[in-house]
A and B are shown apart, each in its own frame.
Chain A
Amino acid sequence: MGCSSSVPARSTGGLNNINNDNSATDSKDLRAKLVLLGDSGVGKSCIVLRFVRGQFDPTSKVTVGASFLSQTLALEDSTIVKFEIWDTAGQERYAALAPLYYRGAAAAVVVYDITSPESFSKAQYWVKELQKHGTPDIIMVLVGNKADLHENRHVSSQEAQEYAEKNNMVFIETSAKTADNINQVFEEIAKRLPRPTAS
């Protein structure tokens, strides 16, 4: 396993201070809670680490630990989206706890491993869960990770694409190892986030 180098580029040496000022946000700035779901070992945290390290934003704070990360993304229309990324434990025994995490999430990234059909079934389970209990209008992205291992592929792109379309999801295949398509996942979400109504 592994997604090449493994440590955040920069760490501030601690959880964001509890007293951190939640600095006044510009009207064009969006804050979006994003939850990551998927079997353990599909590379959920790799995808996020790739995303967070790949950005060159000198003001972003990478905190110690990969289970919560935040990253801002500037869009072409000059909207700035601050993603707050909540990782969940993917092992079966913790599945019942997931609703505590996806409550109130604006977006969910459901990850599977293209070499593992089991992880794809698990992804479908999460999609159903989100449809039943998630925030209404939650933006869902289906991510087939480990696309670099195509010689071991066991889940066809077409099958996943069809499944995603049927469930009104964005579908993207990524490789956290080569960083392929990682940013696209977050850009696709950012594009779809509801903009605050102009006043």
Chain B
Amino acid sequence: MESPASPASRLDFYDFIARMRRPAAAGLFHSIRNFLASLSQGEPNAEEGGARVQAFFAEMEAAIRDHPLWANASNQEIDNALEGLEKFIMTKLFDRTFASSAEDVKADMEITEKIGLLQRFVRPHHLDIPKVLHNETAWLLAVKELQKINSFKSPREKLICVLSCCQIINNLLLNVSMSNDRTLSGADDFLPILIYITIKANPPQLHSNLKFIQLFRRETKLISEVEYYLTNLISAKMFIINVDGRSLSMEESVFQAHMESARLGNHISVASSTSSQGLGTSTAGLNEESGVTEGLRFPFMDSETESLTPGEVKQLHEHYRKVVTRYKLLSKALRKLSVDEDQLLNSVDD
């Protein structure tokens, strides 16, 4: 598989630019300039832009096929020219088409933040990844491929990052099946690993990158195997957005406790890196927050033991479980930060 920065792909692009500079290409060049100018007016709208760009690609494909500069050219040569065109157009339009709306920016931020939390506690077994497929080295390679996605501005090059990541996972599956005489895995193993890799990688602007590829990669190229692997990353994103306790095989209360403890962890690390009294500041924030929600969270604090109904006892037990889980996680988080629990408790005025 070619790499986005491989000499071959750069050559294609320069070849395209060189041909466009020839006097014979003046007509094509003119169309491109007009198109760019027309698309650069008005408010950016990615969806509408996508439709117009795709229509322009189709129009240009026909024009290039009929053009004397490409007379007798092979399909491959024409395809190279179209790849050059895609890269040229999308680099020029990048700022107007990539993460160009407030909603996109917000969606990106939400996913990044969510993955940041999930990273702290999601482990391979939560996603059904069998032990035999645990391979930190291969996973790290896949993570790195996915993280490269923002190093490129053309849809094709971004897509190659996704495909390279998937290929590393496939190679892992193939190697494991050969060395363990195990059935070559299908999607039952592939998707969980891809989701895990996506969580580990927390690829920048995941939502916008996927949207950009879907809208602006030449339609005729977004088919078959390529479409399948892109769909897998889209589905990984969807899984992450909708993740809950059930989807990770844990009690919802435990999941929420994990998320909260991860939030707390992030909060403390942010606070302590920005202020010399980081811990003091963040515990103050914690007190304030728990003051507001205490009544809701601990409804039996003021109840008389004798007056509890069996139903309430059951509820109380459920609460107890939540509190214990939460306490355990908090203690663990504090130990990780090398904070002594008792000392911390003593420092809080009540």
Contact = CB atoms under 8 A, between A and B. Distances in A.
Contacts of B79: 19, 21
A65 B174 contact: yes
Main secondary structure of the interface of A (DSSP, over half): loop
10 contacts: A6-B181, A15-B166, A18-B156, A22-B224, A45-B188, A67-B228, A89-B191, A93-B249, A100-B234, A101-B235
A40 interface: yes
Interface residues of A, number: 43
B73 interface: no
A8 B184 contact: yes
Interface in A12-71: 14-19, 21-22, 36, 40-41, 44-46, 48-49, 63-68, 70
Contact of A67 (B190, B220, B224, B246): B190
B238 A15 contact: no
Interface residues of B, number: 51
A91 interface: yes
Interface string B140-171: 00000000000000001001100100110111
B183 A86 contact: no
Contacts of A46: 183
Given A15-B167, A16-B224, A21-B79, A45 B183 contact: yes
A21 B75 contact: yes
Contacts of B171: 64
Interface in B218-266: 220-221, 223-226, 228-229, 231-232, 234-235, 238-239, 242, 246-249
Interface of B: 1-2, 75-76, 79, 83, 127-128, 156, 159-160, 163, 166-167, 169-171, 173-174, 177-178, 181-188, 190-192, 220-221, 223-226, 228-229, 231-232, 234-235, 238-239, 242, 246-249
A36 B190 CA distance: 14
A84 interface: yes
Contact of A18 (B163, B170, B192): B163
B120 to A, nearest CB: 19
Interface in A147-199: none
Interface of A: 1-3, 6-8, 11, 14-19, 21-22, 36, 40-41, 44-46, 48-49, 63-68, 70, 84, 86-91, 93-94, 96-97, 100-101
B184 A100 contact: no
Contact of A93 (B75, B167, B246): B246
B220 A65 contact: no
Contacts of A87: 186-188, 190
A1 to B, nearest CB: 6
Contacts of A6: 177-178, 181-184
Given A18-B160, A93-B248, A97-B191, 10 more contacts: A2-B182, A22-B224, A44-B187, A44-B188, A46-B183, A49-B184, A87-B187, A90-B187, A93-B249, A97-B238
Given A7-B174, A18-B1, A93-B128, A86 B228 contact: yes
Nearest to A90: B188
Contacts of A91: 128, 188, 192
> 6 smallest A-B Cβ distances: which pairs?
A45-B186, A65-B170, A87-B187, A89-B191, A87-B186, A97-B235
A53 to B, nearest CB: 10
A20 to B, nearest CB: 9
